[in-house]
Amino acid sequence: MGFSPSSSCSAMGALILGCLLLQASNSNAQLRPDFYFGTCPFVFDIIGNIIVDELQTDPRIAASLLRLHFHDCFVRGCDASILLDNSTSFRTEKDAAPNANSARGFNVVDRMKVALERACPRTVSCADILTIASQISVLLSGGPWWPVPLGRRDSVEAFFALANTALPSPFFTLTQLKKAFADVGLDRASDLVALSGGHTFGRAQCQFVTPRLYNFNGTNSPDPSLNPTYLVELRRLCPQNGNGTVLVNFDAVTPDAFDSQYYTNLRNGKGLIQSDQELFSTPGADTIPLVNLYSSNMSVFFRAFIDAMIRMGNLRPLTGTQGEIRQNCRVVNPRIRVVENDDGVVSSI
């Protein structure tokens, strides 16, 4: 089965009007949903068909692509810096603690880039590939459609040190989470709670879960916010001193669906990682009413998620002549230097 944006969008008819209003109010005038209409009209089909194909053998890939976009945007903006491999000029963000042996989907982005370079050479940025792939991944998993503002360009460097400090940790308290989001310009409670809803699908490694199961904050006891039944199940999946790379579903009820079950899980003390459960279990937090609202009304969650995704996608984009359009998402384009010899002959090297 192929990907058809038009048919997928028609299924979300109730949301289209609201999405178009968001499009009209997009504050970053240089980014616009129709950016590739004339230069690469099949960009959504190309990316969507590859995701559909990958989902046949890797049900995690939709959540992994969304996470890549998130981890990209939180480090100096949505510029595809996370995709760059090591070079003599910089260290890759892939080696940073929040990404090492965890961030995935790079080979799928490579597939998308190869296909797009074949169809529309030197046209679609890697940053926009991540943005579009995130939207389509959400849509294919049962989530909402929205018109994605496009026109980003790619960075010519990576930011290893910043990736180690800017990305939220699964062990963060609510105060730390709020600061991490506010530091990049996402300073509304709805930004934090709605974007955290991206954990409604996908997996996490046991190494990010076990501290709260056995020795929460050095207490030699489990996190008291954990549902006792859920604690028993998690200890079975993630035994003490066990394999830290074992995968656990963020949402045990609908693990591959993009829905509002994540928030219901939080209300029941069944948030997988500490930073998720903090949204509901921190006494007096302004995030608690939003968790309750999104749990009870999925349409409201979807609207909040769309709004927060557009806001995140607008974080410090490179546009116009800034950056470049990488031909290979893993490496910066070769630099061309123009020289003139003694005879006045100009050449490029």
Is 278 annotated among the ligand-binding residues? no
Residue 332 makes CB contacts below 8 A (sequence gap 6+) with 84, 87, 89, 156, 157, 324, 326
Is 168 annotated among the ligand-binding residues? yes
- Burial per residue of 2-14, b for 16 or more beta-carbon CB atoms within 10 angstroms, e otherwise: ebebeeebeeeee
Is 300 annotated among the ligand-binding residues? no
Is 199 annotated among the ligand-binding residues? yes
Is 259 annotated among the ligand-binding residues? yes
- Helix (H) / strand (E) containing 249: strand 247-249
DSSP state of 338: E
The helix/strand count (H/E) of the chain reads as 15, 4
Q: Two tokens at 190?
A: 């709805």
Q: Two tokens at 265?
A: 């899980």
Is 283 annotated among the ligand-binding residues? no
Q: Which of 71, 152, 178, 330 is catalytic?
A: 71
Indicate if 69 belongs to the active site.
no
Is 193 annotated among the ligand-binding residues? no
Q: Comparing C-alpha atoms, which of 79, 53, 52, 54 is closest to residue 68? A: 79
- Helix (H) / strand (E) containing 280: helix 274-281
Binding-site residues for Ca(2+), in ranges, read 72, 75, 77, 79, 81, 93, 200, 251, 254, 259
Tell me which residues are annotated as active site.
Answer: 71
Binding-site residues for substrate, in ranges, read 168
